[in-house]
Amino acid sequence: MKNLYKFCIIMIVSVSCSPKNWHSNSQKDVYTYIRKVERKPSKTLFSERLVIAYKEQKETKLREIELIKAAQKPFDWEIVYEKYKVLNEMAQKVDDCHACKVLVTPVFYKAEETVALQKATLERIDAGMVSLSLDNKQEAQRAYYHFIKAKQLSPSRKDIDLMIDESIKKGTTTIVIEGDYKYDSDYVKDIEKSLLRSLPKYKESKLFYQFFSPQQALAIQMQPDYVITFGFRYLDVGMLHSHCSDESFTKDIKVGERKIDSVKVEPIYEKVSAKITKCRKTLNAEGKIWFEIRDFQQDVSVLREEFYDDDTWTNEWTTVSGDSRALPAGASSAGIESMPPSHWTQFNNITSDLGSSASWRIRRFLKDRNMLAIK
């Protein structure tokens, strides 16, 4: 009985491992057996599996191509192109392997791949031109992404570069930023850098925003889309406040004993004292920033807001002095007195916080106005 059981197991394994019962899962199987046949051309198992894998993958890809063509969905020619590309890559791998060519006849679909690439590129260009013709920024940005895809498909086509440039030009929002230079002449640049860092999540989207100073806009006689004006309503920096409080403690400590009338014992006490001093030092800065966004073309204010913020530096420390025996249990010195930050540091902190608040609101405004560029 045991021998019969072993025989059955051997037969099952043999049948399952037979090339006739093996199926390829992907084109990687083709590449794997090309390498194996190349290394060991006399190995029958590798040769048989290469024949099966190449045939199955070629037929599978061709069936998929026919189904995709029949569906006629937008931009499916890109998928068809990729599948023909895989078919030609597999054929080339076989063709490069002398031992493999004896077993398998590589079939190339170069003409089909070229046609699919041309149709995929043209479909993207046509979609981009349709979007561009609608003559608004959001559609121009949509056209840009179509043209970029077309350029990725056909990098050698120089005419697509002109289409990309045109879509950027039509899709770009131009913004002039003019600030109140009362406190810090570099603040305009800080706001601009903050916007450029955090407006779009995709690098391509930054193409659709250009920031200019009033001088730059005047020099090129530009008519911007928006003008953002901002300044500080007020800034109070460097108001230092210090306060210390003392708490005193006294305690009678037994230091000995003495006899009275040679019989009675009386304790001897000593009064000790100590002090706990708690100090707190704060340096406060506060301010308010305002900004206004104007639609330059319509000459109307579309948003005006103000933001308040403060920045407080705090230093706390505790010192004990006197006889430690008079102190409550666990009382000890803690912390140290530190030098406060400079006025310039506090200024930077508060202006940075206020600038972040204004930048956040401006980003949200631009996002609401342009959902495509800021994804």
Give yes or no for a contact between 240 and 280, defined as CB atoms under 8 angstroms apart.
Answer: no
Token couple for 162:
């002109």
Residue showing tokens 């068809």: 80
Q: Provide the CATH number for the domain formed by 119-171 in this structure.
A: 1.25.40
| For residue 299, pLDDT beyond 60 | yes
pLDDT of residue 14: 42
Residue showing tokens 């349709």: 130
pLDDT of residue 118: 97
Domain ranges of the chain: 18-108, 119-171, 226-247+276-369
| More confident position, 26 or 221 | 221
28-32, 55-59, 261-265, 305-309: range with lowest mean pLDDT: 261-265
Give yes or no for a contact between 312 and 278, defined as CB atoms under 8 angstroms apart.
Answer: no
pLDDT of residue 82: 97
Q: What is the mean pLDDT of residues 69-77?
A: 95
pLDDT of residue 258: 81
Give yes or no for a contact between 340 and 281, defined as CB atoms under 8 angstroms apart.
Answer: yes
What is the rounded average pLDDT for all residues in the chain?
Answer: 84
Token couple for 21:
């019962």
| More confident position, 198 or 153 | 153
Give the residue among 344, 356, 361 at the shortest CA–CA distance from 285: 344
pLDDT of residue 43: 82
Distance CA 231, CA 291 (A): 7
Q: What is the mean pLDDT of residues 350-362?
A: 83
Sign of CA dihedral 317, 323, 326, 331: positive
57 confidence band (pLDDT: 50, 70, 90): very high
Q: What is the mean pLDDT of residues 44-63?
A: 92
Q: What is the mean pLDDT of residues 292-307?
A: 92
- Reduced to 3 DSSP states, what percent helix, strand and coil does the chain have, rounded to the nearest 5? 50, 25, 20
- Residue 283 neighbours by CB distance under 10 Å: 21
Residue pLDDT, tens place only, 91-104: 999 999 999 999 99
| For residue 293, pLDDT beyond 60 | yes
53-67, 95-109, 157-171, 333-347: range with lowest mean pLDDT: 333-347
pLDDT of residue 346: 86
